[in-house]
Structure 1
Amino acid sequence: MYHVLVVEDELLIRDAVVEMVNQLDGFKVTGEAGSCEEGWRQLRELWPTVLITDIQLPDSDGLELIQRIRNDKLPVVAIIISGHDSFPYAQNAIRLHVSEYLLKPISEGELHEALARSVSRLEAIADSNRLLREIQSFIDDLQDNASIALFEQADRLLSRIYHLRGLEPGVKASYYRIFLSKLVEVVKVIHPDLPQADVPEDGSEHQVKQVFRDVLHEWIRRYPHFANNQMRLVIKRACDYIEAHLQDELGLKQMSDYCNLSPSYFGVLFKQYTGKSFVNYVNQIRMDKAMELLRDSDMKIYEVAEEVGFASLPYFNRVFKTVTTLTPNEYRRGLGV
């Protein structure tokens, strides 16, 4: 199954693209975003194999997002959808090795054909993509593992990077940087004065592993004390705010400002204490409220969607099914309502 991230700020178009992708066997939309920055954040958390992005976004453009992917040598196939038949845009897309350049309005057939033409490229990057997702799982589960297990798991992942074959120059170094930056970001939450850590250029496998072991040692030494300190109250306050403001726009930047923390610091802290990413947590709370309204009121489904903060009914339906495995209608029928 190939995972797809759709970045498009126009909700109706995004809804249509997501629906088209999900109709094609072997592809599944695992993330949606309406801006370049949100798309970049989700890309580095979900690690999709396919990016479908509009060129014109509120804060930047899709080409900027693809440029970041190329700079970090990430295993992602990029497809552009654009409302402009612009030669300079197309030139830049070719320079960035974009797989497809589709003009709006796009049809389901056009998009399916574009994805089908991308399969050979997707097969070539599958192993690298799987490795990055395993690195993400390691970071997400740090607090759940004993010290010996952490060292063993990190060593296995680093050995896989070290022995990767057939990659263009710089890919291994990029994967080391991604892994180390994510690990350091988490550890700095509990140890802000953590010394600078860098993977030595042309270092041996043992030298690389030692850098990671030193950082992990700080996590193991400090986390038990940190887990019981006042930061629990900060996240509890954020969770209370979320429950009281479900109808409002609830973004990571807004909530981190509310808690007087940087977005990256807040995101890491939030996941450590709730076990979910910020987006997944908010969606779960919204769906819990939606299920309550579907059970206990005669509100129409679009009214329930608006009540829990969704401007787009198709998007609400998708999130509801992702969380509950049922559509809102199926859920309500199952209750005999």
Structure 2
Amino acid sequence: MYHVLVVEDEPLIRDAIVEMVHQLEGFKVTGEASGCEEGWRLVQELWPTLLVTDIQLPDADGLELIRRIRESQLPVVSIIVSGHDHFPYAQNAIRLNVSEYLLKPISEQELHAAISRSIGRLETLAEPNRMLVDIQRFIDRMPDCQSVELFEQADRILSAIFGGRSLEPGARISYLRVFLGKLTEYIKTVYPELREAELPDEAGEQMTRKLFHDLLHEWVRRYPQFAGNNMRLVIKRACEFMENNLQEEITLKQMADYSHLSVSYFGVLFKQYTGKSFVNYFNQIRIEKAMELLRNSDRKVYEIAETVGFASLPYFNRVFKQVSSLTPNEYRKSLGL
């Protein structure tokens, strides 16, 4: 199954692209974003293998997002869907090794054909992508792991990176730095004074393992002291604010500012305490409220969607089904309403 990230600021167009992708067997949209910064954050959290993005976005263009992916040597195939037939855009897309450049409006057949032409590249990126997904899973599970298990799993990931035969030149050090950056960022949530660790280009396997082991020893030493501190109250307060403002378009940055924390620090803390990413948590409490309204009122589905902050009905239906395994109408019928 190939995971897809769709970045498009127009809700109706984004809905259409998502539905087109879902019609293609073997592909699943695991993330949606309306801007470059949100898209970049989701790339580093969801690790998709395929990116479908517009060029013109509110905060920066889609080419900037692709440039960051290329500079980090991440295993992502990119398809651009643009309303602009400007030669300089196409030139930059070619320079960034974009797989396809499609002009709006696009049909389902056009998008499916473009994705099908990219299958060969996607297949070559499967192993590197698994490494990044394993890194993310390791980071997410750190608070629940015993120390012996932590070291064993970290060593397994490092062995996979050093032994990866399908990695492009330079990709190995890039993946090691992704792992190191995420590990350092996570440990800083419990020990903000931690010094930044650096991994030289020429670092060998033995030096690298020692660096990671030293960081994990710091985590094992510091985490028990941290687990009960007042950061729980900071996240609890943020969750209460979200619950009281379901109709608003609240972003991760807004909540970080509200909590007087950096975006990266807040994001890591939030996931550590709630067990979910910011977007997934906000969507879940919105859907839980929607389920309550479906049970206790005769309001129409689109009215309930608007009440809990979804401007797009198709997007509401998709998220509702992700959370409850049913569409809103199916949920109502299951209750005999």
Task: Give the TM-score, by structure 2 length.
Answer: 0.99
Give SS of 2:89's match. helix
Structure 1: stretches of 5+ with no match in the other structure: none
- Measure how far apart 1:207 and its partner are: 1.0
Pair 1:270 & 2:267 matched = no
- The alpha carbon displacement at 1:167 in A equals 2.8
* Secondary structure class of the residue paired with 1:141: helix
Counterpart of 2:77?
77
- Map of 1:290 onto structure 2: 290
Deviations 1:205-234 (A, max 9, x none): 111011111111111111111110111111
Q: Is the CA contact 2:124–2:166 (under 8 Å) kept in the aligned structure 1?
A: no
Equivalent residue of 2:132, what SS?
helix
Answer yes or no: is the 8 Å Cα contact 1:200–1:208 preserved in 2.
Answer: no
Query: For residues 122 and 141 of structure 1, what CA distance do their matches in structure 2 show?
Result: 27
Residue 170 of structure 1: CA displacement?
Answer: 0.9
In the alignment, which residue of structure 2 is the partner of 1:318?
A: 318
Shift of the alpha carbon at 1:204?
2.2
Corresponding residue for residue 305 of structure 1: 305
CA contact (8 A) 2:8 2:35 kept: yes
Q: Distance in 1 between matches of 2:23 and 2:117?
A: 16
Q: Give the counterpart letter for 1:38 in structure 2.
A: E
- Tell me the CA shift for residue 280 of structure 1: 0.7
Alignment partner of 1:79: what SS?
strand
Query: Which residue does the alignment assign to 1:147?
Result: 147
In 1, Cα distance between equivalents of 2:203 and 2:66: 29
- How many residue pairs align between the two structures? 337
User: Letter of the aligned partner of 2:104 in structure 1?
Assistant: K
Distance in 2, matches of 1:294 and 1:15, equals 23
Which residue of the partner structure matches residue 46 of structure 1? 46
Q: What are the equivalent positions in structure 2 for 1:1-337 lying under 5 Å apart?
A: 1-337=1-337
Q: Distance in 1 between matches of 2:196 and 2:146?
A: 25
Contact map agreement 2:53 2:80 (CA 8 A) in 1: yes
Distance 1:214 1:110 in 2: 51
The superposition leaves residues 147-187 of structure 1 with CA deviations (integer Å, 9 ceiling, x where unpaired) of 11001100110011011124322100000010000000011
Secondary structure of the residue that 2:175 maps to in structure 1? helix
CA RMSD of aligned residues (A): 0.8
Structure 2 gaps of 5+ residues are: none
Counterparts of 2:213 and 2:253, CA distance in 1:
32
For 2:167 and 2:318, locate their aligned partners in 1 and report how far apart those are by CA, in whole Å: 37
SS in 2 for 1:190: coil
Could you tell me how far apart the structure 1 residues matched to 2:262 and 2:200 are?
Answer: 28
Percent pairwise identity: 69
Deviations 1:261-280 (A, max 9, x none): 11100000011111111111
Give how far 1:200 is off.
Answer: 3.2
Q: 1:335 to 1:166 in 2, by over 3 A?
A: closer
CA shift for structure 1 position 9: 0.2
C-alpha separation between the residues in 1 aligned to 2:285 and 2:301?
Answer: 17
Distance 1:187 1:163 in 2: 26
Q: How far apart in 1 are the matches of 2:92 and 2:241? A: 43
**2:52 match: secondary structure:** strand
Scaled by the length of structure 1, what TM-score is found? Answer: 0.99
Secondary structure of the 2:189 match is helix
